[in-house]
């Protein structure tokens, strides 16, 4: 299998070819390695690999033999060093066991060939850590890949991989999905297990899943990995049917709110607003009822509540890593905003953290009430098209923790709300700037309703197809 032939298929298509014995797993993996090696010198998306042999997986699984990569954060495979995007980790820390999600990826048949770049401790909306340098956007290498799952995103967008692991604490699946023209679903809190090392990543704000090029891959991957694990703190409602059965299902006439003004009060690019409006018109044409409306919440209080939650989590992670390695954290091995936020996080009293979580609960209740009147909310994913590299500099020592959080959430003001609510949200590549850069459009749903998101996403994929679009840097040979 030649790399250009390999690059034309999504994960579902590759799995079918392997099952039908039209191509062997070895041939597919050889093509994937060649594809990664072809694009990575420009994109800088890989921190380890591609390895000569994929990590062990079940060749009879749903995606038996399909190439895959792990974001170098949160998830870990037994014996494989994790670096967390930071110089503090040195050559990495190898855990003696898989996380639950890694076990499920193996069972699904995904053959992990590499680890992908992330900003330091995944605390940025781009992927430019001091430890590894800038990961570049395949549509325009002078632009940001988004973050924090930027490395995974650019390999999938450049057709080097059909799908890859990603995490999302404030938009880190959806932001790079928007920047790179991909499908990026943040599942409901508790839909995909995070254990056994943690029960509530980021006090419940964090989620793990993946990035794909097609809605059918997104649905199939969710079927493969969803469901509770033994000892999970929370168990949520099961889906009504397998997610792949949502593809092509008529969801009925839905009530969809549309909102294009940034909750932060910042500007929204005209082409971004136009893309959301165009998606709204298509949804109207599909029979849905679309009207302008938005949840109401206090943005400044929301930012203030996120700061202690993120900073306490960051301090915990840094201190645990430093203790394991015997390496003191400091300015020689941490970026300036990381260090400042960690120092702040160590000073946060329990009462302040509790008050912050109470604010997020109030926001979640307001959004939950909003969804009693609507089935979905349509917004931009990002206020702007992919930014030039360097716009979000986590090593800027002039920024206080509050200033860094405000800057970060201001850039991605449409995404973090749904980390607070725990409800699912998906970014779809439904718009394009006149210069050819992708624009993501976000759909959010009430808690546990990934099924409706996937059904409507499939409708939009048919009405506004995107898979024919290939970025400038690609593994297709053109």
Q: Active site residue: 172, 178, 188, 364, which one?
A: 172
344 token code pair? 């702040």
Q: Active site residue: 134, 144, 148, 313, which one?
A: 148
Beta bridge partners, 163, equal: 212
- Give yes or no for a contact between 152 and 138, defined as CB atoms under 8 angstroms apart: no
Alpha-carbon separation of residue 37 from 6, 42, 141, 161, 403 (angstroms): 14, 10, 16, 11, 38
303 token code pair? 């930012």
Give the H or E element holding residue 19.
helix 11-19
Residues 92 and 244: their CA atoms lie apart, in Å, by: 37
Burial pattern 40-56, b for ≥16 Cβ within 10 A else e, equals beebbbbbbbbeeebbe
Catalytic residue flag (residue 148): yes
Q: Active site residue: 71, 262, 311, 383, which one?
A: 71
Catalytic residue flag (residue 172): yes
Catalytic residue flag (residue 24): no
- Give yes or no for a contact between 131 and 86, defined as CB atoms under 8 angstroms apart: yes
Work out whether strand 46-48 and strand 111-116 pair parallel, antiparallel, or are unpaired. antiparallel
Residues 405 and 408: their CA atoms lie apart, in Å, by: 5
Residue 271: Cβ within 10 Å count: 16
Cβ neighbours for 97, distance < 8 A, ≥ 6 positions apart: 78, 196
Catalytic residues, which ones? Answer: 71, 148, 172
């Amino acid at each position: 299998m030649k790399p250009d032939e390999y690059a034309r298929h999504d994960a579902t298509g590759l799995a079918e070819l392997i099952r039908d014995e039209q191509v062997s797993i070895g041939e597919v993996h050889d093509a994937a390695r060649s594809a990664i090696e072809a694009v990575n010198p420009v994109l800088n998306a890989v921190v380890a690999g591609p390895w000569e042999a994929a990590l062990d997986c079940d060749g009879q699984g749903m995606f038996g033999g399909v190439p895959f990569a792990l974001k170098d954060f949160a998830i870990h495979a037994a014996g494989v060093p994790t670096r967390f995007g930071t110089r503090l980790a040195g050559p990495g820390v190898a855990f003696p066991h898989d996380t639950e999600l890694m076990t499920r990826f193996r069972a699904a048949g995904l053959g992990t060939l590499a680890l992908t770049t992330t900003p330091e401790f995944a605390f940025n909306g781009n992927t430019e850590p001091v430890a590894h340098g800038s990961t570049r956007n395949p549509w325009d290498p002078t632009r940001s890949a988004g973050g924090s799952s930027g490395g995974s995103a650019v390999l999938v967008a450049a057709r080097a991989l059909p799908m890859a692991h990603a995490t999302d604490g404030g938009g880190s699946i959806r932001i790079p999905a928007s920047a790179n023209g991909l499908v990026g679903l943040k599942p409901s809190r508790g839909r995909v297990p995070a254990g056994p090392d943690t029960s509530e990543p980021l006090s419940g704000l964090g989620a793990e899943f993946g990035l794909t090029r097609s809605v059918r891959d997104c649905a199939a991957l969710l079927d493969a990995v969803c469901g509770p694990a033994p000892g999970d703190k929370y168990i949520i409602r099961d889906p009504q049917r397998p997610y792949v059965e949502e593809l092509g299902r008529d969801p009925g006439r839905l009530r969809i709110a549309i909102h294009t003004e940034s909750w932060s009060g910042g500007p929204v690019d005209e082409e971004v607003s136009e893309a959301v409006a165009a998606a709204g018109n298509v949804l109207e044409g599909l029979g849905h009822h679309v009207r302008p409306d938005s949840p109401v919440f206090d943005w400044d209080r929301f930012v203030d509540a996120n700061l202690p939650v993120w900073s306490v989590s960051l301090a915990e992670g840094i201190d645990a890593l430093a203790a394991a390695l015997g390496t003191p954290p400091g300015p020689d091995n941490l970026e300036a905003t990381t260090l400042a936020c960690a120092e702040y996080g160590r000073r946060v009293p329990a009462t302040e953290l509790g008050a912050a979580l109470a604010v997020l609960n109030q926001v979640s209740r307001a959004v939950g009430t909003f969804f009693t009147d609507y089935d979905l909310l349509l917004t931009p994913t990002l206020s702007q098209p992919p930014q030039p590299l360097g716009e979000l500099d986590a090593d800027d020592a002039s920024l206080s923790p509050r200033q860094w959080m405000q800057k970060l959430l201001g850039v991605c003001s449409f995404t973090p709300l749904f980390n607070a609510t725990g409800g699912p949200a998906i970014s779809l590549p439904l718009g394009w700037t006149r210069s050819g850069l992708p624009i993501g459009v976000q759909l959010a749903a009430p808690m546990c309703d990934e099924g409706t998101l996937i059904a409507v996403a499939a409708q939009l994929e048919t009405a506004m197809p995107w898979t024919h679009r290939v970025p400038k840097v690609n593994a297709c040979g053109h």
